[in-house]
Amino acid sequence: MTRRAVFLDKDGTLIDDVPYNVDPDRIRLAVGASEGLPHLQAAGFRLIVISNQSGVARGLFAEAALEAVRERLTQLLADIGVELDGFYYCPHHPDGVVPEYAVACHCRKPQPGGILAAAQTHGIALEESWFVGDILDDVEAGRRAGCRTLLLDNGHETEWKRTPWRWPDLVARDLAEAARLIARPL
> Which one is catalytic: 11, 134, 137, 138?
11
Alpha helices by DSSP H, the chain: 33-42, 66-79, 113-122, 136-145, 175-183
**DSSP state, 34?**
H
Angle at 9 between CA 47 and CA 175, to 5 degrees: 70
Helix (H, G, I), strand (E, B) or coil at 151: strand
Helix (H, G, I), strand (E, B) or coil at 3: strand
| Cβ-contact 67, 59 below 8 angstroms | no
* Catalytic residue flag (residue 9): yes
Task: State how beta strands 45-52 and 4-8 pair.
Answer: parallel
Give the catalytic positions in this structure.
9, 11
